[in-house]
Structure 1
């Protein structure tokens, strides 16, 4: 099997879904895996997700992007910092899961969260970032790095863009002109009632709603072939996932 670059959307503690997509995509040791973030918060197996990701990094070239939920959990581990909104939107499930873990494992996972990348730019000028960016000159010029894992305006802009507008038109968004393709998560495609990867302009949204009642997705960035898990709520029938 030839080398592939595979991109994986938001997992949100859905370890069973992660195993399914890796199996259904027949992931091999020579495949590069790019994870777009939000490994925690939602379903009950965030520790298992992070353990498995760290294991994959021993057999595959892996890129782990920082998601906003990963950052929130990391802050809690470091400083006990939290807020009710985070707990309501999946954080409580993560805290419940880690309450059963020993401190040595928690410390290892804290190191993993500290090592996450804010973005990844590959040799094909493809950008991988959790949420988006706001600076017209690109990610390297972002004034507020947190926007890389909190922004929603990039996706909203891509959704609203007139598909007939040419890239060399003076009105074409400057943010979209820096990269051949942009892969994001963060804003579920279920908001537009779709449970598959969505492409608008040169932006691919890979968050297919695994935090809720939809599948997790993995995609070959060259061929655009993708594989999905079962609807995650069916894998965790006694849990509610994210609100």
Structure 2
């Protein structure tokens, strides 16, 4: 039976990703959906992309674009490193690329260029890095950046869940567009929770691997969960992203 395994924000934590894969034991029947933010934070960003380029050769994969991936792609294409990017993990990413042979960089540029803004599967499940604000769903967004930056979908779902302020007809209309929505972007550890959790029909898989949390993967067909050790334990003496 095919597993559909969704993996949260990696943020350069190759050791955490390797540990997860050892537990998951991938098969050729599995589908892996990565929710974006492959880079920025821990010291192995370029090496994470190398891993994913190899991994997709033997496994079925879909890769979503995160906001940190946009910064990295722009830099790889010759743009000046933005100060905000350097403050949020970009410095570690640039340093990781110093150890990458130059002839590998075109493959990395192609990888980032091919990332998807969102995916809707045949069970009407949406996979997106951050969220959407349009009442028509992600297809109705005026700016592509909303896919990788929006927090309103998650924050509204949390507020409604916590206050029991649902409308008489159930979820607000834009939540009814999809059976489930899987996101990253906003670490669950910001809410003192270190596992994926759900608000309305939105499931957040980002458990803070970029900071001091764990990297998480979930088979969304049966809710099996795999988690790495807290990432600082895998990189002693190194700071990831600060908050």
Q: TM-score when scaled to structure 2? A: 0.95
| Alignment match, 1:125 | 124
Check whether the contact 2:4–2:221 (CA below 8 A) recurs between aligned residues: yes
Query: Within 1, Cα distance between the matches of 2:77 and 2:154?
Result: 31
Deviation by residue 1:205-229 (Cα, 9 ceiling, x = unmatched): 0000001111100001011110100
Give the drift of 1:122. Answer: 0.5
Deviation by residue 1:8-35 (Cα, 9 ceiling, x = unmatched): 0000000010011111122212100000
| Residue aligned with 1:48, SS | helix
Is 2:154 the counterpart of 1:169? no
Q: TM-score when scaled to structure 1? A: 0.95
Query: Within 1, Cα distance between the matches of 2:35 and 2:52?
Result: 12
| Residue aligned with 2:130, SS | coil
Large movers: runs of 4+ above 3 Å: 162-168
Q: Which runs of 5+ in 1 are unaligned?
A: none
Give the drift of 1:79. Answer: 3.0
**Structure 1 segment 60-99 matched on structure 2, within 5 A:** 60-99=59-98
| Residue aligned with 1:234, SS | helix
Check whether the contact 1:167–1:177 (CA below 8 A) recurs between aligned residues: no
Per the alignment, do residues 143 and 237 of structure 1 end up closer, same or farther by CA in structure 2, a change over 3 Å counting? Answer: same
| Alignment match, 2:33 | 34
Check whether the contact 1:137–1:174 (CA below 8 A) recurs between aligned residues: no
| Alignment match, 1:52 | 51
Check whether the contact 1:14–1:232 (CA below 8 A) recurs between aligned residues: yes
Q: Which runs of 5+ in 2 are unaligned?
A: none
Compute the RMSD of aligned alpha carbons: 1.4
Give the drift of 1:168. Answer: 6.1
